[in-house]
Amino acid sequence: MSLVLQAIIVALIGGILFAIIGVVPGTDETATMAPITLILVLMGFEPVVLFAWFIAIIVAMQITHTIPTAMAALPGSTMAVPMVENCNVGKMLGIPHITMRKMAAGSIVGSVIGLPVAVCFAQLLAPLSDVISQYSGLIFTIAACIIAYMSKSRWGAVVVLVPFAFLIQGLQRLSVEAVGGTLFTSIFMGITIGPMICELFNALVPANREKNRKDGFKEIWLAPEAKDKLPLFPNPLKVVHKSTVKYVIPTSAVAACTFTFSPVGMTVMLGELVGSKKKELYDKITAAVGVQDAVSNATYLGELIIPMIAFGLPLSPVALGPAAPLFNDINLHDYLTMGDYILYGIIGIIGGAVFAYPIAMKKARAWSEMMFRHVSHEALIGAFMGLIFMLAFHEAGLFGILVTLIIGIFGGFLNNYFGIHTGVQFMAYYASSWIVPTIIGVCGTLI
């Protein structure tokens, strides 16, 4: 069997599998992508096939994670966290099926733009690989400061990077003592569910509980289906609308180059930037979610491809997490040519989209109605929380759950009361390994 045919088959299988996984609220990319990818590496699949597989699962998951995010305002994955607020407003407007389609279409556009841009930018950076590798910690910190300052909290978010970094590194030191190693999933999940943990914690405070108590059923108005029948695979550029395309394409291109930035941080920052350009609430929401999912996918592809081509080292959040087997267990940098990245990347995009995209387009309103009529929102929240704590327990037992709660309460408080969003917190996590030793070293010198 030729390598191209193998790649097509594997990409299709990966696209179907992760299209299903993406529908489950609260799915963590690292906890799902990395183990299954590692299995394929250990089975001896060819490097080009592994690359097509990983592109396919990225694309498929980024498309279908829009379904629980739009319908129930529960993040279908870590990358969907920045979209929850806009999707919640979309629910109140009765347009969850429309926001779902905007996000799915944006995801396709982000993939198509992100792949060639990332490959070209990686070639430009390749001569600088030694310098960038040497100062990766500082680069992460500068990126964290930029994303923090671009948030609504401005200097408050920049200042809070330091205590949050110390909290993370302190918990990592404790985890070495408790379980013999540092944690990843538990901290990531703590940041992801921080806003929700904070709201649940509020229910334990009598005054806040009474303030938020509601009586009776909540009415939700669902917008009617469009009269025009959508084709099986509608043109993504037409779905996101021509007024939004002028934002989606350039933001995707920019996002594909920012490999040291948190994907969540880039999604929040560029989504807010585009949303601020719109005056009407409907336009603001639909434009923002389309851009957010495009940026999310483009950033993810850039953070996989740029470190792989330019450095051969995991110098990005994606390379350190979900794509770790492609750097540590087999380094694709040593096997793929520029032509391979384009050819098998396209195979991966098609394999990831061929099943997931039609589902999001054709079943959006029907699934939204079914969700609102027959599925309890409280049940979804319970299932979501259960999944999170299961992942934390799998990583580090009860200590992992404790770490998730600590990060969740602290990070949720920062998000809900001070507007220091999860993108800033994710960047603080990546920069913490440079921030803490540097500050300790400076303090030691002064003493």
Phi, psi of 27 (to 5 degrees): -70, 135
List b or e across 278-315, with b for residues whose CB sees 16 or more CB atoms inside 10 angstroms.
beeeeebbbbbbbbbbbbbbbbbbbbbbbbbbbbbbbb
- Choice among 157-166, 171-180, 267-276, 427-436 with the minimum mean pLDDT: 267-276
Query: Which one is predicted more confidently, 76 or 182?
Result: 182
pLDDT at residue 318 is higher than 90: no
Q: What is the pLDDT of residue 221?
A: 67
Q: What is the pLDDT of residue 50?
A: 96
From the number of C-beta atoms within 10 Å of its C-beta (0-12, 13-18, 19+), residue 9 rates as middle
CA 288/CA 89 separation, integer angstroms? 12
Q: What is the mean pLDDT of residues 173-180?
A: 95
Report CA-CA distances (Å) from 329 to 51, 106, 136: 14, 32, 21
Q: What is the pLDDT of residue 228?
A: 65
Query: Which one is predicted more confidently, 437 or 94?
Result: 437
Q: What is the pLDDT of residue 385?
A: 81
What mean pLDDT value characterizes the chain? 86
pLDDT at residue 115 is higher than 80: yes
CA 305/CA 23 separation, integer angstroms? 26
Q: What is the mean pLDDT of residues 158-163?
A: 95
Q: What is the pLDDT of residue 227?
A: 67
Give me 101's structure tokens: 């389609």
Q: What is the mean pLDDT of residues 23-34?
A: 75
CA 294/CA 253 separation, integer angstroms? 10
- CA 345 from chain centre, in angstroms, equals 19
pLDDT at residue 333 is higher than 80: yes
Reported as a single tens digit per residue, the pLDDT across 351-397 is 999 999 998 888 777 776 776 677 776 776 777 788 788 888 988 99
Q: What is the mean pLDDT of residues 14-21?
A: 90
Reported as a single tens digit per residue, the pLDDT across 213-255 is 777 776 666 667 666 677 878 889 888 877 788 889 999 999 9
From the number of C-beta atoms within 10 Å of its C-beta (0-12, 13-18, 19+), residue 229 rates as exposed
Orientation angle between helical segments 263-275 and 422-446, nearest 10 degrees: 120
- CA 356 from chain centre, in angstroms, equals 17
Orientation angle between helical segments 155-179 and 422-446, nearest 10 degrees: 80
Reported as a single tens digit per residue, the pLDDT across 66-76 is 888 888 777 88
Q: What is the pLDDT of residue 301?
A: 94
Given a contact cutoff of 8 angstroms between Cβ atoms, the answer to whether 397 and 179 are in contact is: yes
CA 307/CA 14 separation, integer angstroms? 23
Q: What is the pLDDT of residue 295?
A: 92
pLDDT at residue 109 is higher than 90: yes
pLDDT at residue 181 is higher than 80: yes
Model confidence at 157, pLDDT cuts 50, 70, 90, reads very high
- CA 24 from chain centre, in angstroms, equals 14
Q: What is the pLDDT of residue 201?
A: 87
pLDDT at residue 158 is higher than 90: yes
Model confidence at 166, pLDDT cuts 50, 70, 90, reads very high
CA 88/CA 91 separation, integer angstroms? 5
Q: What percent of the chain has pLDDT over 70?
A: 95
Reported as a single tens digit per residue, the pLDDT across 41-62 is 989 999 999 999 999 999 999 9
- pTM of the entire structure? 0.79
Give me 435's structure tokens: 């921030």
Q: What is the pLDDT of residue 196?
A: 81
Q: What is the mean pLDDT of residues 173-196?
A: 87
pLDDT at residue 124 is higher than 80: yes
